[in-house]
Amino acid sequence: MELTTIAIDKPADMNFILGQSHFIKTVEDLHEAIATTAPAMKFGLAFCESSGPALVRYSGNDERLLEIARSNALKLSCGHCFIMFIEGGFPVNILNAIKNVPEVCNIYCATANPTEVIVAQSGQGRGIMGVVDGVSSKGIETPADITARKELLRKFGYKL
């Protein structure tokens, strides 16, 4: 078995969700979950089919985001993984809806950070072992950092 890392290629501030599911029906169910939970959100999602024709299946409502999703999914080529890129909202707005899709087995990350996916390649195929999401911690937050964190959450409307 060979381990490699694959960097997710996306604009610096764009959020995405990477997960694993178990059935081709995932593409349509994830589309419906996003569209009904956050109708104004733009998204592109792609799913790596792991049997039969083993195609990258895709759906979404924005061609630019669809292209980003398709190209990253093909680069990953890991069985039953899905990746979605979003604009006009944050992963927190749709994450519970996605986790409630019956086919979804695992969420690896939901982030806008630079991300590397740790991939194992065997004779059978490829699988995701985990992710490196962002950078290493640089220290402990100070009282000024706490104030800035609280202000940011209120600016985004997540806290009163």
Distance CA 31, CA 43 (A): 9
What integer pLDDT is reported at residue 157 of this predicted model?
85
160 is a domain residue: no
Residue 15 located in a structural domain: yes
- pLDDT tens for residues 48-106? 999 999 999 999 999 999 999 999 999 999 999 999 999 999 999 999 999 999 999 99
- How big is the CA angle at 71 (ends 70 and 77), to the nearest 5 degrees? 85
pTM for the whole thing? 0.92
Which of 64, 53, 106, 103 shows the shortest CA–CA distance to 87? 64
Residue 44 · residue 16 · CB < 8 Å? no
| Inside any domain, residue 22 | yes
The domain that holds 90 is classified in CATH as 3.40.1520.10
pLDDT cut 70: percent of the chain above it: 100
